[in-house]
Amino acid sequence: MTDPENLVLEILRVLRTEIGDVKNELISLRNETREGLNRIDVRLGFVEQALASMLGVSASDRSELTALKRRIERIERRLELHNETTP
């Protein structure tokens, strides 16, 4: 039979190998997670840019509609086309 010291050393070697394997897997998972997060950051940046652009267009459209409404109201006043139900 082997002596207890050799048995303990053998168990410690196996544990060291298994811990090394787990460590390598964790490093790999961390790298994959970082890459995934980087891709998400890039895509989120595109979404933010698109949203900002849409908001800018919306504000511009709102401004143009307000201006058109004022022009129509002026034209109606000039032509005396007042709608009696509108304030």
Kindly tell me if the per-residue pLDDT of 77 is higher than 60: yes
Reported confidence tier of residue 5, pLDDT bands at 50, 70, 90: confident
What value does the CA radius of gyration of the chain take, rounded to a whole number of Å? 36
Kindly tell me if the per-residue pLDDT of 52 is higher than 70: yes
CA distance 54 to 64: 15
Q: C-alpha dihedral over 59, 61, 63, 64, to 10 degrees?
A: 160
Give percent of the chain with pLDDT exceeding 90.
71
pTM: 0.55
CA distance 3 to 28: 38
2 versus 47: which is more confidently predicted?
47
- Are the C-beta atoms of residues 82 and 76 closer than 8 Å to each other? yes
DSSP 8-state secondary structure symbol assigned to residue 79: T
